[in-house]
Amino acid sequence: MGVVGLAVMGSNLARNLASREGNTVAVFNRSREKTDHLLQAHPEAGFVAAFSYEEFAAALTTPRTAIIMVKAGRGTDAVIDELVRVFEPGDIIVDGGNALFSDTIRREKAVRETGINFVGMGVSGGEEGALLGPSLMPGGSDESWVTLGPILRSIAAIAEGEPCVTHVGRDGAGHFVKMIHNGIEYADMQLIAEAYDLIRRGTGKSPAEIADVFAEWNRGELESYLIEITAEVLRQSDAATGRPLVDVIVDQAGAKGTGAWTVQTALDLGVPVSGIAEAVFARSLSSHPEQRAAAAGLPGPAEDAVGTSVTDPDAFIEQVRLALYASKIVAYSQGFDAIRAGAAQYGWQIDLGAVSRIWRGGCIIRAQFLNRIADAYADAADLSVLLSAPYFVEALGRAQDSWRSIVATAATAGIPAPAFSSSLAYYDGLRAPRLPAALIQGQRDFFGAHTYRRIDQDGTFHTLWSGDRSETAAEDTH
């Protein structure tokens, strides 16, 4: 098999492949330097280097299998064009880059017409995952999966004895699920950041002391890679100044776009992924220093306002933990809802339980918690909303008072906690017996004759607002 694109992800994935019994890996990169460097640095891998697409194709046994790991976008299209030129029907091209799923749908359709198989595959785990075992989310045809399955199982992370790879669904399904994975990752990180901020401002503990809190949390139901690395980051002190590293890092969060894609896609699907959206927007807000400077003098509680209201720091920290767990359940529930809606829209058969299992190892959101999601879907594969599974109902019940108290404390003290509070608002919206959506329907009917349905009769209705205000049967113009 072969790998095209030998930057950090491609070269690590190639080394992972080469380390498996019986594999010989051909490698190719657009510019020669990366290939030379990889060969020099890792002679033990026994790579077969190619310096043209023709050489690359000739080095592969048929049916050929090549994994592309290049900068997503035009680079991917350029490499696909070249591979299609030198490959034959029956060969398999796998795109392991972070492609937008709609691009993958387009590419799969175009490549399929040549008789070559095209598989868009989500790869999670960063450079270490690529080397030691990533979580893999391949889409593409059933036929490709027959060939690819054993290869991918051999290089994927292992969680509780199972390789973290499943055939997610056809064409763009793998990249769709990877996109949602990244969206959930945004929400999870934002929630953790809000928890840290609340604890710091609420208790006055230092980052190193808060690192101990996170390390402790990592031994309980919140156990996850992100909680683990949060403790590591908070414990780090800056060599140059001796201050906590987190205090010398500029507080403007970057983004590579997959969170925004998740939200844009969810808007199109009509799925409320509010936790993910708040996380994306919170990064955007942080990255406008000019607006933040202009707003710095706006009225509101003082920076240390929360400290005075926290009389029992340990109890406060436990409340934050419960609020974090409840908000995290909401974020994951919303993410799985988006996958369910995407599957319905694009005709994919996605096993949500299998998705939660392949995220248990290798990837950034790996967590104990994913076992609970797997259990929920094992009990009820057609669960309409993950929140309603018995385990989550219990956890959300346990968190109620703390969750509300923390959101109220944040609001009162002027601490921004957009993901905590939007998760709670979503939760309350979902469980409400009646929503003010009825009023919105009334308003829409008033200004635009958009009609409404009644709770006590079938049909669609319109009130003659500018006439005698009687009600008439109407065509549904929703």
Binding site for ligand NAP (CB under 6 A): 5-10, 29-31, 34, 69-72, 74-75, 78-79, 97-98, 123, 126-127
Q: State in angstroms the smallest separation of the CB of 347 from ligand NAP.
A: 26
34 in catalytic set? no
Q: Which is nearer to ligand NAP, 29 or 218 (CB)?
A: 29
Q: What is the DSSP letter of 30?
A: S
Return all residues near 426 (Cβ < 8 A) that are at least 6 apart: 272, 274, 275, 330, 334
| Of 282, 273, 108, residue with least CA distance to 179 | 273
Contact assessment for residue 29 and residue 50, using Cβ atoms and an 8 Å cutoff: no
Tokens of 157: 């992370």
Q: Which is nearer to ligand NAP, 45 or 198 (CB)?
A: 45
- Per DSSP (E only), the strands in 142-183 are 158-159, 162-163
Query: 34, 178, 205, 328: which one is catalytic?
Result: 178
Which amino acid belongs to residue 372? R
Dihedral over Cα of 230, 199, 194, 287: its sign: negative
Query: 34, 82, 108, 185: which one is catalytic?
Result: 185
Q: Which is nearer to ligand NAP, 111 or 323 (CB)?
A: 111
How deeply is 257 buried, as exposed, middle or buried, from its count of CB atoms within 10 A (0-12, 13-18, 19+)? middle
Give, in order, the Cα–Cα distances in Å from 301 to each of 249, 251, 289, 311, 413: 25, 21, 21, 18, 6
List phi, psi (to 5°) of 160.
50, 45
Q: State in angstroms the smallest separation of the CB of 116 from ligand NAP.
A: 18
Q: Which is nearer to ligand NAP, 11 or 218 (CB)?
A: 11
Q: State in angstroms the smallest separation of the CB of 317 from ligand NAP.
A: 32
| Of 56, 106, 124, 61, residue with least CA distance to 85 | 56
303 in catalytic set? no
Return all residues near 40 (Cβ < 8 A) that are at least 6 apart: none
* Residue 212: how many other CB atoms lie within 10 Å: 14
Q: State in angstroms the smallest separation of the CB of 123 from ligand NAP.
A: 5
Q: State in angstroms the smallest separation of the CB of 5 from ligand NAP.
A: 4
Contact assessment for residue 112 and residue 118, using Cβ atoms and an 8 Å cutoff: yes
Say whether 62 sits in a helix, a strand or coil: coil
Give the helix/strand (H/E) hosting 117.
strand 117-124
Q: State in angstroms the smallest separation of the CB of 126 from ligand NAP.
A: 4
Residue nearest ligand NAP, CB atom distance: 97
Q: Which is nearer to ligand NAP, 31 or 470 (CB)?
A: 31
Q: State in angstroms the smallest separation of the CB of 368 from ligand NAP.
A: 23
State the catalytic residues.
Answer: 178, 185
